[in-house]
Structure 1
Amino acid sequence: MLVVGFAAGALRANCYLLAPAPHGPCVVVDPGQDAVEPVRKALGEHDLTPEAILLTHGHHDHVDSAGALAGEHGIPVWLHPADRPLVPISTCDLSGTALGVAGLEVGVGHVPGHTPGSVVFRLDTPEGGRLVLTGDTLFAGSVGRGDQELLAGSVRDTLLPLPDDTVVLPGHGGATTIGRERRLLAGGAVAR
């Protein structure tokens, strides 16, 4: 599996391209501010063709380039319906628990708290690894802002049950693992 990530925009939001392999279809996750050119560059470097855009939530630093990229490539943008009022482009409802796209089986978990429609995307890699893209729900060493009680429940119920070796690809900052975050969050509001 190919994972390409980069930070873009004033808030340095992470954008990811996920593909079964180089030289084929991919999905683009959270193309935020100033992400059009870096996405184009990554597509060219890895000979990828985007088939869809997946949004973890509707904040501008994660969605600002989605409309331009969707229009340029004629691809759908998937977003949880609870965040539709935040996004000024046409989107498809991301309300199920799985989405098959670009040769990938993407698990979808609704994790309200940062926004009402925040979601995480889970993938198993062919190499036996596990990934979860958490947007602004879980970072290395912290959780996002928003409705803290709702967010704590979402992290506790949806993310912490994942295996320790699950790699967390957050919306800002570097990668971590569920095991590392479980230890860091132990004793806090999320661990209850």
Structure 2
Amino acid sequence: MFVLSFPAMAFATNCFVIARALGEECLVVDPGIGVVDTLRQVFDEHRLRPAAVILTHGHLDHVYSVTPVCRSGGAAFLPAYIHDDDRYRLTNPVSTLGPDLREMFEQEFGPAHKWQEPEDIRTLTDGQQLTIAGIDLGVLLAPGHTEGSVMFGIDAVPDGVPDELDRTMITGDVVFAGSIGRTDLPGGDDRAMQRSLRDVVLPLPDSTLLLTGHGPATTMKRERAVNPFLRGLAG
């Protein structure tokens, strides 16, 4: 499996491009701020054809470029997938920011009225199984950072990953290397996050590669051992 990631221009949000192999269709995960030109270069360099955008949640730093990316599919608009509980955020993600963050964002990137939601939005449910671009995805609802935060599981790993890893989980802002997503933004819920960490994240096998929404990739084995938020739950 081919996986390429790069940080967006703001908030260091990881954008992922995933395909079975070079020269095939691909998925775009969480296209954040200022990623469109880089994505075009990635598509051209690796002969990839975008098939869909999948979103781990609806925060602005993860969805800012979803509409232009969905319009890059030629004659047909690419679908954007998001959990039903975060669907409302695509109406205008700037409006879901707190006042201070909204003012800061609009000073940097312009007024909210420029936002346009994707033409083809498809909602996800917990436990749903999808096959897009030849890649089988499992959807795990893990609220807490937002109401509709999800993780995407793939029963494969990127080329070149060590043999002890046999599964990939795209975690969004649920869990990071050594940390977890914040719960103090609108729609966040600390109790829901604790349940998600206990019931959704902790049961993942140690052989799972975690591709996180910010920061470096990690593994479930490592996070089980060193992540203080998970160690506290395990204890």
TM-score range, shorter chain: over 0.9
- Equivalent residue in structure 2 for 1:82, among 68, 80, 85: 85
Indicate whether 1:37 and 2:48 are aligned: no
Cα distance between partner residues in 1 of 2:9 and 2:90: 17
Structure with the higher fraction of residues in strand conformation: 1
- SS in structure 1 at match of 2:225: helix
The aligned residue for residue 138 of structure 1 is 175
**2:234 aligned partner:** 191
Query: Aligned-pair distance for 1:187?
Result: 3.9
TM-score of the superposition, structure 2-length normalised?
0.78
Normalization by structure 1: what TM-score? 0.94
Q: Output aligned runs, 1:1-192, within 5 Å.
A: 1-73=1-73, 74-88=77-91, 89-90=117-118, 91-95=121-125, 96-125=127-156, 129-146=166-183, 147-184=189-226, 185=228, 186-188=230-232, 190-191=233-234
Q: One-letter code of the match for 1:112?
A: P
How far off its partner does 1:110 sit?
A: 0.4
Which portions of structure 1, spanning 4 or more consecutive aligned residues, are displaced by more than 6 angstroms?
none
Aligned length: 191
1:171 and 1:148 map into 2 onto residues whose CA distance is 18
Residue identity (%): 43
Contact kept in structure 1, 2:143 and 2:196, CA below 8 Å = yes
Structure 1: give runs of 5+ residues left out of the alignment: none
Distance 1:123 1:137 in 2: 17
Task: Give SS of 2:72's match.
Answer: helix
CA distance in 2, matches of 1:124, 1:161: 15
**What is the match of residue 186 of structure 2?**
none
Q: In 2, are the aligned partners of 1:80 and 1:94 still within 8 Å (CA)? A: yes
Given that 1:9 and 1:61 are in contact with CA atoms closer than 8 Å, whether structure 2 keeps it comes out as no
Report the structure number with the largest CA radius of gyration. 2
Does structure 1 conserve the Cα–Cα contact (< 8 Å) formed by 2:15 and 2:29? yes
Q: Distance in 2 between matches of 1:67 and 1:148?
A: 30
How big is the alpha-carbon RMSD for the aligned residues of Structure 1 and Structure 2? 1.5
Q: State the secondary structure of the residue aligned to 2:44.
A: helix
Q: Is the 8 A contact 2:137 2:152 kept in 1?
A: yes
